[in-house]
Structure 1
Amino acid sequence: MTTAVRRGAQSTDAKSARAIRRAFLALLILRLNGEKYDAALSCAASEPVAAVRAFFDVTLERIADPELPDGCLIAQSAMAIPVLSPSVAAHAKQALGFQRLRLRAALKAGRLTDQDAEAFAVHAAAVNQSLAVMSRAGASPAQLLAIVGVTVDALSQALRA
Structure 2
Amino acid sequence: MQGNPYRTRWAAWLPTALEALGQDPPDYRAVMPTMPMPPPLTETPFAGPVNPRSIAVLTTSGAYDVNVHAPFTASSILGDATHRVIDTWTRADAIDFAHEHFNQDAARRDLESVLPRASITACGVRLSPRIISWSGFLLDWPTFIEATIPQIVKQVSIDQPDAALLVPI
Q: TM-score, normalised by structure 1?
A: 0.30
Q: TM-score, normalised by structure 2?
A: 0.29
RCO higher in structure (CA 8 A, sep ≥6): 2
